[in-house]
Chains A and B, each alone.
Chain A
Amino acid sequence: MKEVYVISDNMITSLGFTTLENFNKLSDCISGIRICQDTNLSPTPVPLSIIDSAMLKNKAQKAGIGIEYTRLEQLHLLSVSDALSFTNINASSADTLFIFSGTKGNIDLLEEKAQNDFGRARIFLWKAAEIICSYFNNPNRPLIISCACISGVIAIYVASLLIRKGLYKNVIVSGADIIAEFVISGFQSLKAISSEPCKPFDSKRNGLTLGEGCGSIILSSDPSYCTYKEKIIITGGGSSNDANHISGPSRTGDGLFFAIQSSLKEANLKSCEIDFISAHGTATPYNDEMEAKALVLAGLEGIPVNSMKGYFGHTPGAAGVLESIIAVHSMNENILFKTAGFTEIGVPGNINIIKETTRQNIKICLKTASGFGGFNGAIILKKILTI
């Protein structure tokens, strides 16, 4: 059975265009969430984590990525290019597969006037994926995973299954979602958006903060491509459905518990061996409560947990990839980032939400995600000792 090594990555959020920029901002406890007054996005002011458009344009231009690519495609192209720049992995080779994760793709093209520039088909996820793959001259038909907010975790999980089975040597996972009026209005209509920057797991949390972002993570069965200090593998994963409600999380946490259980089983690990949990933590009252209950069911009480949502918001289809990238770097640097926005515990159980950024040796990390449709996903990252 082949191991699945994490090779390289890039992340683009409101905090920066490289993982290093993002990591440095996190180390300084800086959040990218700002109150947005743009009435094209929302009739009322709303906190958002937005990527600077002028800067994106500039970066794309410098990289020779023209205006024939949409905002979302430019993010993918910049992100994958940067992740590839650290390795010798050949993106155009037949043993390299692209997996995209996302929910709404080029949703900004739903407006007819925007469609005129790009054509109607461009709104479909497969079309955008095809365009990105042809930029990198990749010969394979890409996979696209659209499982709401767990898409990114599932994309990494599926990649690990395909590599372990030996179907591909390398997989480039790229997840992205952009902010658009479509998405903001929808979450507002569900009364899920907080009027202040989100407060994951806090007693005063009252909703999520939306963000946009793109994360790319490269996985391979060949450890010689590794670009980090430490060798980290994806050693288990799982998905599940609550079978409870299409838009509300389970009241018991058993769905997420099943996904965690299945990832532990695949990794051949016990819950007490987990050093750190990178949770979903959207800061909606029900989601965070459900996650806490699932962690209790899984025997994970007391283990340090954080949520990244207070730094760069909830970036639906990108979240799982972005947060896994942060987990990989946390493991490399042995640093546990505090949960921005959190002050006082507001979930049941003895859940150890990280309050201050601390240094601690992290060998094994559990990354979880839960989303609309009662979907749950989990993966396990493990540092392996090298001589």
Chain B
Amino acid sequence: MNLVISKYCIISEGAVKINGEKIYSQEKVNDIPGFLKNTFKQTGNAYMKFYKMDNLSKLAFLASELLLKDTDILLKYKGNDIAVILQNGTSTIDIDTKYWNTVNDKNNYFPNPSLFVFTLPNIMLSEICIKNKITGENALFVFEKFNPEFFEQYINILFETGKARCCIGGWVDYNESDYSAFLMSIEEEKNAKGYFCRFNSEKIMEIF
């Protein structure tokens, strides 16, 4: 089975790149949430739920919107045939800390449910699935750093066993000192309308 990366999107260091080309950047990003919001506005996207998301989900969601934009993926594949497989490093540490602050101070004890619901790293996958009606295979793996070898193995299994015909996957991480999203769409060569490169861990290492 010949798998290809039909498109990819990277958001890191104040820049957005599609297939390696910088499409948006902001100099000196001191305020990462502001950068994500500005980038989202720039895309002209009117999906209001974005503003309710925590930073990790915002980052993943933004990358998925830019990845799927101007592609035929959602037309070509049924929701059941699309897998969303992500890796992440620091889980939900950003929102965990914020939620904990609503509980920890006993003089100001008010656990906030709208923060708590984001304290699970798989929620970012759901935000992508809800927007695009994707109902296929879902999984979130935690590694210290992106693990392209395992990613390649696992995606290959999903295609070979007929569990997925398309996969949106990669790495999304957000914490107080760093953030990065690297999402790619993976398809069978025969189904892809042109592609960026072959799908294997060496290629992934080259582009990320």
Query: Residues of A at under 8 Å CB distance from B?
Result: 43, 103-105, 107, 110-111, 123-127, 130, 141, 143-148, 154, 158, 161-162, 165, 167, 181-182, 185-186, 188-190, 238-247, 254-255, 258, 262, 266, 372-375
Contact = CB atoms under 8 A, between A and B. Distances in A.
B111 interface: yes
Given A146-B91, A182-B103, A189 B113 contact: yes
A43 B104 CA distance: 12
A126 B142 contact: yes
Contact of A262 (B93, B112, B116, B163): B163
Given A124-B89, A161-B157, A246-B126, A186 B104 contact: no
Contacts of B142: 124-126, 144-146
Nearest to B157: A161
Contacts of B127: 246
A242 B126 CA distance: 8
Contacts of B109: 43
A258 B137 CA distance: 10
Interface string B108-141: 0101110011111111011101101111111111
Interface in B38-92: 79-80, 84, 88-91
Contacts of A124: 89-91, 93, 142, 144
A189 B103 CA distance: 10
A241 B134 contact: yes
Given A43-B109, A243-B135, A372-B123, A146 B117 contact: no
B2 interface: no
B130 A239 contact: no
B24 interface: no
* Chain B interface, >50% SS class: mixed
Contact of A186 (B119, B129, B132, B161): B119
A373 B125 contact: yes
A147 B96 CA distance: 16
Given A147-B138, A186-B116, A181 B91 contact: no
B99 interface: yes
B139 A154 contact: yes
A189 B110 CA distance: 8
Contacts, number: 145
A254 B80 CA distance: 11
Interface in B133-159: 133-144, 147, 150, 153-154, 157
Contacts of B143: 126, 141, 144
B111 to A, nearest CB: 4
B58 to A, nearest CB: 13
Contact of A143 (B120, B123, B141): B141
A148 B120 contact: yes
**B134, B140, B154 interface centre (most CB from chain A within 10 Å):** B140
**A127, A146, A254 interface centre (most CB from chain B within 10 Å):** A146
A79 to B, nearest CB: 19
B179 interface: no
Given A186-B113, A373-B125, 19 more contacts: A111-B104, A124-B91, A141-B150, A148-B120, A158-B154, A162-B153, A165-B157, A185-B116, A190-B116, A239-B138, A240-B80, A241-B134, A243-B132, A243-B133, A243-B135, A245-B130, A266-B161, A372-B117, A373-B126
Given A182-B100, A240-B137, A246-B117, A143 B150 contact: yes
Contacts of A162: 153, 157
A181 B103 contact: yes
B137 to A, nearest CB: 5
Contacts of B79: 243
A219 to B, nearest CB: 15
Ranked 3 nearest A-B pairs via Cβ: A186-B116, A373-B126, A189-B111
A111 B161 CA distance: 44
Contact of B136 (A240, A244, A373): A240
A309 B113 CA distance: 23
Contacts of B130: 243-246, 374
Contacts of A247: 117
B26 interface: no
A247 B116 CA distance: 10
